[in-house]
Amino acid sequence: MTPATERPANLKQLRASGWTSKTVKQEIRDNFLTMLQRGDELFPGIIGYENTVLPEINIALIAGHDLLFLGEKGQAKSRLMRALVRFLDDAIPYIDDASCPVHEDPYHPITKAGKLLVGGRAEEDVPIAWWPRDERYAERLSPGTKFADIIGEIDPAKLAGGVSMAAEEALHFGLIPRMHRGIFAMNEIPELDELVQVGLFNILEERDVQIRGYPIQFDIDVLILFSANPATYNRSGKVIPQLKDRIGSIIQTHYPIDRTSGIEIMRQEAGIDLDGEFPVLVPPFMLEIVEQISRSARKSKYVDHASGVSARLSIANYRTMVASVRQRGVRLGEKPAVPRISDLGHLTSSSLGKLELDMMGSHQMSEKQVLEAIQAEAIKTVFEEYVSKHGVQEIVDVFGKGVKIEVGDLLPSSHYAERIKRVPKAWEKAFEVNPSTNEAVRASCVEFVLAGLYAGDKISRSQKHGRVTYEL
């Protein structure tokens, strides 16, 4: 990598430096293959796609294709598109002159201004600047996007200033021409106006731009990326067949295949420091329940499967759970504070709006009721993996003797220790889910087992003033 202070500042110096001109797709392919050969991590931060999505992206980049990322919401489509920026050069040279409306390749200018500049001056008088990697990416959301936004239009202000409509100088370029030698991404392509879809034909196939009112043709050099949801992309009439035909590769994304990958994504994206002045210790079963809520929602008959359930549901719920725990830790002076099932009562606030109900399956249930049903199903699923039936029956028998246990997100852990002193033998079975002598961890285990028994219809519960009482 050449330091910025040592980079060529004019065309003569650029030629002397040995810099070679490449198309953006050649540049990406060469850098990708170099990183692949070195054994570099190609897509840092992308989890769960190692054997499915990423191999398809690799092949598409080597093939020099424009790409469509097809998947439901929260499947890292935008993140994958932005990740391709790392395969660009650190910076590329361009003609540094205000008359050039795009970042011109000094060796191959495409505009009239650029060609006149290079052809009419000595090479040492053609100024060169460097376009950094991060600025060579732009994206746009399809709804509301007009032809002029991404392709261009005649500029009335320039006409008023005396410029002829037949002159190239009268044009105002849209995002795609301005991303010449870069990457342009269009999100939610089925929502793009049909006229604009037609305008993309030449860019994808012939790599040129034609703007109405003037028969201009530019040899545009750009990598085009799209994203779409399968439900709308495959719906007849939403995307013009000719546009589909011109997209080189379709990359199909998916939700985490297993719960472990989902937890890893959840923790990475939440970015929470569990240490510090008010530490939090999260038992494995609580992590699994938060992720299982999203997984159960994706299978629920109450949720519209075509819409999907974003990974953002797990991330937001995890942050809410930790926030609830930290509040208790600060109030009660517990260090570390440990999440309990009662903390999940606050997940409604971070879950509402993230699910789209199936009107046929929900049978007039409110979104809150659907969330409660999904949460109970998630607790039951994880509980059955952790606790043996033998241990469960022993604890149920204890409740048959009239024992009641009250829980709540603001009750101190010592409250739980006092309640279970009467039945230590049976509860030892429950503590096997997370062996610990820490009172806060044991309180979390107690709530986990109680909630699991309730979800399995073994015991009943009642709720009053934010506290829950379990009994037979």
Q: How many CB atoms lie within 10 A of CB 303?
A: 23
Of the candidates 341, 320, 315, 325, the one whose C-alpha atom is nearest the C-alpha of residue 279 is: 325
The pLDDT tens digits of the residues spanning 432-448 come to 777 677 888 888 888 88
Alpha-carbon separation of residue 415 from 22, 339, 456, 462 (angstroms):
69, 15, 25, 18
Q: b/e string for 165-196 if b means 16 or more Cβ within 10 A?
A: eeeeebbebbbbbbbbbbbbbbbbbbbbeeeb
Of the candidates 187, 95, 108, 124, the one whose C-alpha atom is nearest the C-alpha of residue 150 is: 187
For residue 225, give both structure tokens: 């990326």
Instruction: Give the Cα-Cα-Cα angle 208, 214, 218 (nearest 5 degrees).
Output: 20
CB of 65 closer than 8 Å to CB of 249? yes
Of the candidates 301, 346, 344, 341, the one whose C-alpha atom is nearest the C-alpha of residue 453 is: 341
pTM: 0.86
Per-residue pLDDT of the chain (472 residues; tens, 9 = 90+): 556 668 999 999 999 999 999 999 999 999 999 999 999 999 999 999 999 999 999 999 999 999 999 999 999 999 999 999 999 999 999 999 988 889 999 999 988 889 999 998 999 999 999 999 999 999 999 998 888 888 777 666 666 666 655 566 667 778 888 899 999 999 999 999 888 888 787 778 776 666 655 656 678 899 999 999 998 998 878 999 889 999 999 999 999 999 999 999 999 999 999 998 999 999 999 999 999 999 999 999 888 887 889 999 999 999 999 999 999 999 999 999 999 999 999 999 999 888 888 766 556 788 888 999 999 999 999 988 887 655 677 677 767 777 777 888 888 888 877 777 765 566 666 667 776 778 888 888 888 888 888 888 888 888 776 678 877 5
Of the candidates 75, 33, 24, 73, the one whose C-alpha atom is nearest the C-alpha of residue 53 is: 75
The pLDDT tens digits of the residues spanning 373-390 come to 999 999 999 988 887 655
Return the biggest CA–CA distance within the chain: 98
φ/ψ of 399, rounded to 5, equals -65, -25
Alpha-carbon separation of residue 140 from 190, 220, 252 (angstroms):
13, 18, 20
pLDDT at 442: 84
- Nearest-angstrom CA–CA distance, 382 and 263: 13
- Nearest-angstrom CA–CA distance, 109 and 125: 16
